[in-house]
């Protein structure tokens, strides 16, 4: 029997059983040098892998932030890529020069271009001007970064309650951004750009500076940009002198500058100003008693505005003349015209009374010019209705003058030696194959030149012209301001060549001025709007004498006879002497009256632009009646002066 030993048997022997595998001993913690136990990592499925999730979460979160920033930057870039450079826009001054046209008494007639006043700082203004603006436009202006979330939420709630848009959420900074840099379109893109620009403004400028820019750039209606321009436009004073009520009026305008314009809508403007004062009380800027006192002070009226539609003809003509005088307009200017509002109103009243009568008989248009003896145009109508036609017939219209042209014939005749008593045979022989005819009367035989004028006998005028020479008549017309082409033919005496009412007015005003040239003018003075300095002024010296006192006296004689007992008697004035001449062209296409008293001359034309004949409208009818109606009102209270 083999003795067993403690040695291990060889695995080569067949049939030997394999030793069962040992079970793993429980993991033991090893002692470290520091005395702390080191815990070995467990194998698969153990809890030691859990802490590795946090780095992945952090990395994912960081990636999300980065991609969000990239996406946000892309969106902002898409919104901002076509945004204007605000620094460039603020530095630019690309507005049109402002031209203000005023009447002789300073009343505003028209504004052209953009009106800017003096640049003002907050310290230049009464405190209630910026307070009124903040109270009604942005009470939290000093507490938000350019966009006011609280204001937006408040506006949304208010609009939901009202069932419509009644309140906006834009801050004053956003309004400035919108008005200076952006278009008026209402899109999400524009709204985002507005917010971006508002943030830029807030970062670039302080609150006070933003408020100053707003006060100097905001449009406040009537062509006025900024509070100083608006103060001068509406109240005739600088912004520094504004009252509380006037400040409230201006602060209420940004909401609707055209609809709340104090000139066009005084009641709506006043209602809005009262709302602004109430807002100032709510904001704590003023007391209720102060607000009530300001409301009572509404007796402060805005500067007179005479810019009715009918004055536009003269105002536009004055603008053109000012540009010609200066060789162009390169700065803000104030153009003082010769228009006299009282006389303009008299002209409009006469046209309103008589004009419809002429239109009923087929004379649809008219032109009117009133002129002082020195050539100053004191009233003008370029047509029957400025809103229907802007064409200025008084200045640019050219029509046959008919017998009003005989003025030049008889003045030349007097210089040629004839007198009012000179006998003229009205039975004239044909001249160069042409035979003149008399309207309404046959031949009277030998008559005085005076009677020939008073009764507007055509053959007498032609005979007088043939006596002194046609060239003398052309020369006389040129001396008195007629620039139209004139040919020295036999029909010249009867007014067949077209002229303008303005030129005829200048000629008759020369007689009113006792023979001194009356060159028509409408611009009396031009000032630099910035400092009031005069850059042009028409001289006050009298025009050159072109007619002797003797010639003027003879003209007074014959043309006053026309008014006293001749074809012009419908123009006779009850309280003073007057002189004038009617004119009627063939088939009643044109009807004229031109007349004067020593202080004033006036000319009326009636007819149609297309030359259509009227139904019997002649110079001694409605034109003479309109002249009389105008003169009676215009000369009321004026001294009576003899003609000769």
pLDDT for 540 equals 77
**Rounded Cα–Cα distance for residues 237 and 126 (Å):** 13
Judge whether 609 and 365 are in contact, CB under 8 Å.
Answer: yes
**Rounded Cα–Cα distance for residues 22 and 217 (Å):** 94
- Is residue 542, in this structure, part of any structural domain at all? no
User: What residue ranges of the chain have pLDDT lower than 50?
Assistant: 1-30, 32-34, 36, 38-48, 78, 165-166
**Length reported for the chain:** 644
137 included as an active-site residue:
yes
Residue of 629, 623, 627 whose CA lies nearest to 363: 623
- Is residue 180, in this structure, part of any structural domain at all? yes
Q: Structure pTM?
A: 0.72
Catalytic residue among 104, 247, 269, 403: 403
Judge whether 332 and 116 are in contact, CB under 8 Å.
Answer: yes
Helix (H) or strand (E) run with residue 526 in it: strand 523-528
- Is residue 218, in this structure, part of any structural domain at all? yes
In our burial notation (b when 16+ CB lie closer than 10 A, e otherwise), range 267-299 reads eebbebbbbbbbbbbeeebbeeeebeebbeeee
Helix, strand or coil, per DSSP, at residue 572: coil
Judge whether 582 and 567 are in contact, CB under 8 Å.
Answer: yes
pLDDT tens string 459-491: 999 999 999 999 999 999 999 999 999 999 999
Q: How many degrees, rounded to 5, is the angle at CA 624 between CA 565 and CA 425?
A: 45
- Is residue 158, in this structure, part of any structural domain at all? yes
**Rounded Cα–Cα distance for residues 357 and 351 (Å):** 10
Residue of 625, 605, 624, 615 whose CA lies nearest to 399: 605
Q: How far apart are the first and last CA of the chain?
A: 184
Judge whether 619 and 589 are in contact, CB under 8 Å.
Answer: no
Task: Give Cβ neighbours of residue 500 (< 8 Å, ≥ 6 apart).
Answer: 394, 395, 396, 397, 398, 399, 484
**Domain at 194, CATH number:** 1.10.3810.10
- Is residue 198, in this structure, part of any structural domain at all? yes
Could you tell me how far CA 357 lies from the centroid of its own chain?
33
**Rounded Cα–Cα distance for residues 562 and 66 (Å):** 98
**Rounded Cα–Cα distance for residues 233 and 221 (Å):** 9
- Is residue 243, in this structure, part of any structural domain at all? yes
Tokens (6 digits) for 70:
């990239």
pLDDT for 74 equals 54
**Rounded Cα–Cα distance for residues 604 and 618 (Å):** 12
- Is residue 96, in this structure, part of any structural domain at all? no
Burial class (CB within 10 angstroms; exposed 0-12, middle 13-18, buried 19+) of 323: middle
| Structural domain that includes position 193 | 125-299
Judge whether 354 and 626 are in contact, CB under 8 Å.
Answer: yes
- Is residue 178, in this structure, part of any structural domain at all? yes
**Rounded Cα–Cα distance for residues 412 and 461 (Å):** 11
Q: What is the number of structural domains in the chain? A: 1
Q: State the DSSP code for 443.
A: -
């Amino acid at each position: 029997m083999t003795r067993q030993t403690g040695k291990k048997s060889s695995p080569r022997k067949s049939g030997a059983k394999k030793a069962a595998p040992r079970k793993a001993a429980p993991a033991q913690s090893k002692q470290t040098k520091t005395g702390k136990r080191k815990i070995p990592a467990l194998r698969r499925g153990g809890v030691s892998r859990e802490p590795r999730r946090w780095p992945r979460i952090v990395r994912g979160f960081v990636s999300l932030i980065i991609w969000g920033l990239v996406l946000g930057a892309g969106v902002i870039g898409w919104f901002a890529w076509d945004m204007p450079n605000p620094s460039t826009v603020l530095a630019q001054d690309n507005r049109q020069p402002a031209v203000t046209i005023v009447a002789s008494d300073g009343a505003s007639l028209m504004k052209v271009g953009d009106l800017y006043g003096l640049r003002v700082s907050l310290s230049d203004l009464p405190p209630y001007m910026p307070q009124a603006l903040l109270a009604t436009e942005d009470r939290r202006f000093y507490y938000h970064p350019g966009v006011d979330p609280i204001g937006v939420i408040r506006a949304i709630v208010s609009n939901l309650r009202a069932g419509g848009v009644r309140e906006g959420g834009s801050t004053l900074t956003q309004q400035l951004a919108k008005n200076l840099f952006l278009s008026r379109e209402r899109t999400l893109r524009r709204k985002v750009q507005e917010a971006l620009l508002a943030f830029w403004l807030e970062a670039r400028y302080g609150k006070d500076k933003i408020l100053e820019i707003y006060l100097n750039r905001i449009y406040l209606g009537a062509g006025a940009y900024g509070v100083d321009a608006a103060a001068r436009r509406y109240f005739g004073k600088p912004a520094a002198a504004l009252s509380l009520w006037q400040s409230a009026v201006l602060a209420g305008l940004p909401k609707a500058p055209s609809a709340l314009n104090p000139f066009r809508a005084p009641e709506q403007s006043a209602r809005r100003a009262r709302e602004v004062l109430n807002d100032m009380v709510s904001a704590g800027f003023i007391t209720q008693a102060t607000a009530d006192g300001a409301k009572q002070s509404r007796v402060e009226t805005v500067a007179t505005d005479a810019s009715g539609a009918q004055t536009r003809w003269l105002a536009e003509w004055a603008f053109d003349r000012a540009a010609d005088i200066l060789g162009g307009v390169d700065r803000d200017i104030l153009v003082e015209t010769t228009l006299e509002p009282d006389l303009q109103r008299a002209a409009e009243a006469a046209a309103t009374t008589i004009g419809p009568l002429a239109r009923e008989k087929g004379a649809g248009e008219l032109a009117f010019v009133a002129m002082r003896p020195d050539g100053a145009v004191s009233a003008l109508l370029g047509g029957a209705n400025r809103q229907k036609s802007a064409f200025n017939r008084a200045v640019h219209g050219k029509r046959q003058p008919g017998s009003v042209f005989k003025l030049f014939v008889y003045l030349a005749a007097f210089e040629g030696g004839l007198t009012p008593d000179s006998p003229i045979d009205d039975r004239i022989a044909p001249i160069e194959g042409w035979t003149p005819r008399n309207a309404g009367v046959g031949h009277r035989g030998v008559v005085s030149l005076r009677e020939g004028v008073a009764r507007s006998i055509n053959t007498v005028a032609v005979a007088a012209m043939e006596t002194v020479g046609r060239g003398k008549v052309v020369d006389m017309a040129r001396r008195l301001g007629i620039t139209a082409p004139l040919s020295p033919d036999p029909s010249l005496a009867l007014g067949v060549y077209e002229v303008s009412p303005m030129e005829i007015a200048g000629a008759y005003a020369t007689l009113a001025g006792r023979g001194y040239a009356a060159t028509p003018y409408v611009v009396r003075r031009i000032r630099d709007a910035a400092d009031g300095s005069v850059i042009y002024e028409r001289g006050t010296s009298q025009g050159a004498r072109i007619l002797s006192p003797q010639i003027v006296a003879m003209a007074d004689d014959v043309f006053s006879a026309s008014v006293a007992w001749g074809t012009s008697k419908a123009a006779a004035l009850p309280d003073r002497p007057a002189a004038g001449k009617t004119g009627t062209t063939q088939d009643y296409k044109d009807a004229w009256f031109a007349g004067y008293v020593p202080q004033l001359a006036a000319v009326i034309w009636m007819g149609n632009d297309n030359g259509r004949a009227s139904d019997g409208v002649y110079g001694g009818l409605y034109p003479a009646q309109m002249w009389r109606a105008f003169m009676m009102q215009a000369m009321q209270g004026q001294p009576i002066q003899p003609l000769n």
